[in-house]
C-alpha cells in the first residue's frame, strides 16, 4: 500500500467543492471548517470500519506508509440519506475491502479528513453526497 | 385551472368570512421538498445586542472546539426551529390536515406540528420546536411560534437566541405550486436590536422518499 499526497483534480472541481462547503450546503449538521477544502489527498488502504449512521457516515481506513508503518485514517462523510440517494447503502463497504480514498485533509494535520470519493480495485467509484463531479 | 381554483378559494374565503369551515379550500402544502436557497447561512441585516454578540462569540468558540455542551446538535439534540427550516441538502415532508400542518425533516428526523388555532398552550414548557399555532390569511399560512429551549442555534454558524425568541412565518406555495416559500421573521428583543426576516424557498420533489435518520453518532472529528 502506498500513500500519495498533494493537490489533485481539476481546478473547476476543487472550486465547485469549495463553494458547496462555503454555503453550508454539504452539511446541515455542523461546520466543516476543520477540513482544508483547498487540498485534496489520496490514500490507498484497507477498510477497518464502515459506520452507516447519522448524522454522518464514517469510514476508517488502515493505510501503510512508505516505511511500512500502519496508520489509521478517520474519514467523515455526509448523512445516510444523501449517500443513499448517491448510490451508497449500508453494505457498500466492508472491513477488509481494498479502497482508494480521495479526501480533504484535516487542517491540524490529524490523519483523516472529509471523504470525497471511494474507488474500488475494479474502478467502481462512490462519491460522497454532493461531491459527484 | 389552478388560477381559477385560487380565485374560487379566495371568493369562498371572502363569502364565508374567512371561517374555519373553508378549511378544505386552502392550499395543500403536503409533499416532499428540498431547500433551494442557503437562507440564514447567508442572511444579513440583523444587528445583535451586546448580550447577543457575547452569546454569538461563545457559540463560535464552542463550534470551533466541537464542544457538545455549546453545539448541542453534536450530541444529537434536535436543531429545532428555526434552524431546521434551513436543512441544506436534506429533504423534508409536509403533511397537512384541516387541523394541523406537520413537518418531518430528514435532518435529525425532526417532527414539527403546527396547530391551526389562535391560542398558545397554557403552562407549556420550552421545547426545541417551540409552541406553534397558525391561521390562514388567504393562500398564506401565518405561523406564530414561541417558547423555545435557549440552547439551540439559529443557524450552523452558531447565531444565538434567547428565551425571548418569537418566530413568525408566512408560508405559501408559489410558482404554480412548484415552490414552497417561508418568510421567517426573527424577533428576539434580548439578542437582536430589531426583528429581521429571512426567506427560504423549497422545491417540490415528489421523486424523493425521505429515509429514517435517527441521530446516534456523536463522533465529531477524525
Q: What is the per-residue pLDDT across B53-102, written as a single tens digit (0 to 9) for each?
A: 999 999 999 998 889 999 998 899 999 999 999 998 899 999 999 999 99
Q: What is the mean pLDDT of chain A?
A: 81
Q: What pLDDT score does B23 carry?
A: 47
Q: Would you list the domain boundaries of chain B?
A: 26-204
Chain B residues touching residue A106 (CB < 8 angstroms): 221-222
Span A37-61, mean pLDDT? 95
What's the CATH number for A3-131? 2.40.50.140
Q: What pLDDT score does A111 carry?
A: 96
Q: What pLDDT score does B11 carry?
A: 47
* CA–CA dist B72, B68 (Å, integer): 5
Q: What is the per-residue pLDDT across B150-200, written as a single tens digit (0 to 9) for each?
A: 999 998 889 999 999 999 999 999 999 999 999 999 999 999 999 999 999
Q: What pLDDT score does B168 carry?
A: 98
Chain A residues touching residue B213 (CB < 8 angstroms): 54-55, 79-81
- CB-based contact A28:B156 (threshold 8 Å): yes
Residue B203 forms contact with A (CB below 8 Å): no
* CA–CA dist B50, B55 (Å, integer): 9
- CB-based burial of residue B126 (10 Å sphere; 0-12 exposed, 13-18 middle, 19+ buried)? middle
User: At B200, phi and psi to the nearest 5?
Assistant: -105, 145
* CB contact (8 A) between residue B71 and residue A53: no
**A93 against B14, higher pLDDT:** A93
Q: What is the per-residue pLDDT across A24-38, written as a single tens digit (0 to 9) for each?
A: 344 556 667 889 999
* CA–CA dist A24, B157 (Å, integer): 9
User: In chain A, where does DSSP find H-type helix?
Assistant: 11-22, 80-85
Stated pTM of the model: 0.81
Q: What is the per-residue pLDDT across A81-133, written as a single tens digit (0 to 9) for each?
A: 999 999 999 999 999 999 999 999 999 999 999 999 999 999 999 998 554 44
* CA–CA dist B195, B197 (Å, integer): 7
* CB contact (8 A) between residue B73 and residue A58: no
Q: CB within 8 A of A21, min separation 6: which ones?
A: A27, A32, A35, A37
Q: What pLDDT score does B42 carry?
A: 54
User: At B177, phi and psi to the nearest 5?
Assistant: 90, 0
DSSP, residue by residue, B178-210: TEEEEEEEEE-TTTBSS-EEEEEEEEE-TT---
* CB contact (8 A) between residue A81 and residue B213: yes
Q: Would you list the domain boundaries of chain A?
A: 3-131
Contact map slice: A 29-68 vs B, CB within 8 A: 29-31, 33-34, 51, 53-56, 58
Q: What is the per-residue pLDDT across B105-146, written as a single tens digit (0 to 9) for each?
A: 998 878 999 999 999 999 999 999 999 999 999 999 999 999
Q: What pLDDT score does B38 carry?
A: 59
Q: Is the pLDDT of residue B202 over 60?
A: yes
Q: What pLDDT score does A8 carry?
A: 43
Q: How far is B142 from chain A (nearest CA, A)?
A: 26
Q: What pLDDT score does A32 carry?
A: 78
Omega prior to B204 cis, within 30 of 0: no
User: At B64, phi and psi to the nearest 5?
Assistant: -60, -30
* CA–CA dist B135, B117 (Å, integer): 6
Q: Measure Cα distances from B212 to A126, B84, B128, B203 in Å.
A: 21, 16, 19, 21
Q: Which residues are A101's β-sheet partners?
A: A43, A118
User: In A23-127, where does DSSP find H-type helix?
Assistant: 80-85
Q: Give strand ranges (E) for A2-124.
A: 3-4, 41-51, 58-64, 70-76, 98-105, 112-119
* CA–CA dist B138, B141 (Å, integer): 8
**B38 against B8, higher pLDDT:** B38
Span B209-216, mean pLDDT? 93
Chain A residues touching residue B210 (CB < 8 angstroms): 81
- CB-based burial of residue A77 (10 Å sphere; 0-12 exposed, 13-18 middle, 19+ buried)? buried
Confidence of residue B24 (pLDDT cuts 50, 70, 90): low
Fold of B26-204: Lipocalin (2.40.128)
Nearest CA in chain B to A112: B222
Chain B residues touching residue A74 (CB < 8 angstroms): 221-222
Amino acid at each position: 500500500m502506498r500513500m500519495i499526497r498533494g493537490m489533485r483534480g481539476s481546478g473547476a472541481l476543487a472550486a465547485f467543492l469549495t463553494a458547496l462547503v462555503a454555503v453550508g450546503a454539504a452539511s446541515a449538521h455542523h461546520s466543516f471548517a476543520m477540513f482544508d477544502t483547498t487540498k485534496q489527498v489520496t490514500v490507498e488502504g484497507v477498510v477497518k470500519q464502515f459506520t452507516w449512521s447519522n448524522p454522518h457516515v464514517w469510514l476508517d481506513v488502515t493505510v501503510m506508509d512508505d516505511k511500512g508503518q500502519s496508520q489509521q485514517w478517520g474519514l467523515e462523510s455526509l448523512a445516510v440519506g444523501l449517500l443513499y440517494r448517491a448510490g451508497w447503502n449500508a453494505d457498500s463497504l466492508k472491513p477488509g475491502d481494498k479502497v482508494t480514498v480521495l479526501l480533504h485533509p484535516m487542517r491540524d494535520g490529524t490523519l483523516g479528513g472529509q471523504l470525497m470519493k471511494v474507488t474500488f480495485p475494479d474502478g467502481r467509484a462512490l462519491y460522497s453526497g454532493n461531491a459527484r463531479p | 385551472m389552478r388560477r381559477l381554483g385560487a380565485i374560487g378559494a379566495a371568493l369562498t374565503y371572502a363569502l364565508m368570512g374567512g371561517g374555519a369551515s373553508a378549511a378544505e379550500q386552502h392550499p395543500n402544502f403536503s409533499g416532499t421538498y428540498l431547500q433551494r436557497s442557503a437562507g440564514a447561512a447567508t442572511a444579513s441585516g440583523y444587528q445583535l445586542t451586546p448580550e447577543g454578540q457575547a452569546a454569538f462569540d461563545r457559540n463560535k468558540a464552542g463550534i470551533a472546539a466541537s464542544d457538545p455542551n455549546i453545539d448541542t446538535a453534536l450530541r444529537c439534540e434536535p436543531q429545532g426551529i428555526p434552524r431546521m427550516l434551513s436543512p441544506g441538502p436534506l429533504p423534508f415532508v409536509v403533511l397537512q390536515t384541516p387541523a394541523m400542518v406537520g413537518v418531518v425533516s430528514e435532518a435529525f428526523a425532526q417532527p414539527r406540528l403546527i396547530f391551526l388555532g389562535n391560542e398558545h398552550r397554557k403552562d407549556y414548557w420550552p421545547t426545541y420546536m417551540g409552541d406553534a399555532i397558525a391561521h390562514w390569511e388567504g393562500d398564506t399560512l401565518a405561523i406564530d411560534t414561541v417558547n423555545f429551549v435557549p440552547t439551540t442555534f439559529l443557524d450552523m454558524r452558531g447565531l444565538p437566541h434567547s428565551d425571548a425568541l418569537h418566530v413568525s412565518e408566512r408560508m405559501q406555495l408559489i410558482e404554480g405550486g412548484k415552490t414552497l416559500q417561508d418568510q421567517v421573521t426573527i424577533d428576539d428583543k434580548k439578542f437582536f436590536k430589531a426583528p429581521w426576516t429571512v426567506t427560504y424557498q423549497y422545491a417540490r420533489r415528489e421523486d424523493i422518499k425521505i429515509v429514517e435518520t435517527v441521530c446516534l453518532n456523536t463522533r465529531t472529528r477524525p
